Structure 1
Amino acid sequence: MRKVDPEKHAARRQAILDAARTCFARKGFHQTSTAEICAAVGMSPGNLFHYFPNKQEIIGAIVDQEGEETAAFFQTLGARDDLHAALLDFMDLVLELAADAEFSSLALEIAAEAGRDPAIAMRVGRNDRELRSALQGLLAEAAARGQADATLDMADAATWVAALIDGIFSRVAVDGEFKPKNQHATMRVLLGRFLRPQADASTVTAGA
């Protein structure tokens, strides 16, 4: 029996996910066939099934990976000295991702599939809970350091930030004139005023 090379296996698996991301974003999840994913990655259908049994598991793995990447990013944010600034930098990244047509289209495809497939909905829901938990932890620590409004209910504040993230992607989908890359300054003012300690809120300006 041939021994599997873990590094080669992981690389091929990642290549499938990368190709599937592009295909799902451009054509839609249900409009993309496994044959098209195979063609994009340069792999036979029989070989593909050594890595994923079906398309549902491919999109599920994409959801899992996005959750892992978000968790890793929040680990780096938590190590920052200024957590208020760290959160605003995170939201800058959200705007950059929303401006990426492929990323934004894929996010909407995943959301749509979560509405149809309970298994995908569970994975998306887990990512959402973990995101809100990470936001809540970041905000609570920021408040403890005097960098965020300690009078806020941190769970509610985290939910509102998560809702803002969802809204950015929804706005991109319905409003062709909305350009996320043009919204950094306004986002920083609005979110900064919402999160700043009350004594500092009146001093927040564009670029804060």
Structure 2
Amino acid sequence: MPKVSEEHRAARREQIIDAMLRCVARDGFHKTSMAAVVAESGLSAGAVYLYFKGKSDLIRAIAELVAGQGLSVVLDRAAVDVPPPHQVLASVLERVIAIGDERGVELHRVALQVWAEAARDHEIMAIYRREGGRGLAAWATYVERAITAGHLPSDADPARTAHTLIGLIPGFMVQRLFFEDLTPASYAAGLADLMGDPDPTR
């Protein structure tokens, strides 16, 4: 049946993405070849190449996965009862960690390597610019609603503020590499402190 076929295809695609994530987290971006991904996935080379032509396709899928999950959190939190920025930040970071836990990999280790690769690979840079543009739009929408809700100054610039909030996400992931006890809650509480929120648990 078509529905079963689509479910099968989706499961295979996720299986290959998971294999890529594990390879990069364990062996590094440059040492990870498509042959390594094939071996890690447990599928045939033909099955893997049916879904992904190469590493760039896999990186695009990973970028879209992480960005898409983050976007959904931001937009969901902006939709009703708009919470303060530190709560949205904590929710996004918790979701990123959850994605890694679900897939059995420390996602920040993969992200740092792929970001570094984007500095020299124009195709990967284009992927992140596109996803970054979507993220900026989502965060700017949240900022506009947070201003209306009184969480941010009325004269705050949505685009500038969105850029700053987005920048806190890779900041957390870099620090997580060195400070393994850093949590989304404690990191977000620091933002609340900077903003003068007397009750960061709100």
- Pairwise same-fold verdict (TM > 0.5): yes
Deviation at 1:189, TM superposition (A): 4.8
Aligned position for 1:37: 37
Cα pair 2:73 2:92 within 8 Å, conserved: no
The gaps in structure 2 that reach 5 residues or longer are: none
TM-score (norm 1): 0.80
Aligned position for 1:152: 156
CA distances 1:89-112 after superposition (whole Å, capped 9, x unpaired): 332245544696711101102201
Aligned position for 1:103: 107
Deviation at 1:155, TM superposition (A): 1.4
Return the alpha-carbon distance in structure 1 between the equivalents of residues 106 and 135 of structure 2: 22
Change (3 A) 1:156 1:21: same
Return the alpha-carbon distance in structure 2 between the equivalents of residues 185 and 57 of structure 1: 35
Deviation at 1:73, TM superposition (A): 2.1
Alignment of 1:110-149 (within 5 A): 110-149=114-153
Residue 168 of structure 1 pairs with residue 172 of structure 2: yes
Change (3 A) 1:61 1:185: closer
CA distances 1:128-181 after superposition (whole Å, capped 9, x unpaired): 2222221111111121132322121221111111122222222334xx346322
Residue 184 of structure 1 pairs with residue 185 of structure 2: yes
Change (3 A) 1:93 1:107: farther
Higher relative contact order (CA 8 A, sep 6+): 2
Cα pair 2:77 2:83 within 8 Å, conserved: yes
**Which of the two has higher C-alpha Rg?**
1
Cα pair 1:189 1:204 within 8 Å, conserved: no
Return the alpha-carbon distance in structure 2 between the equivalents of residues 145 and 116 of structure 1: 41
Q: Secondary structure at the match of 1:180?
A: coil
Change (3 A) 1:25 1:146: same
Aligned position for 2:89: 91
Return the alpha-carbon distance in structure 2 between the equivalents of residues 186 and 14 of structure 1: 30
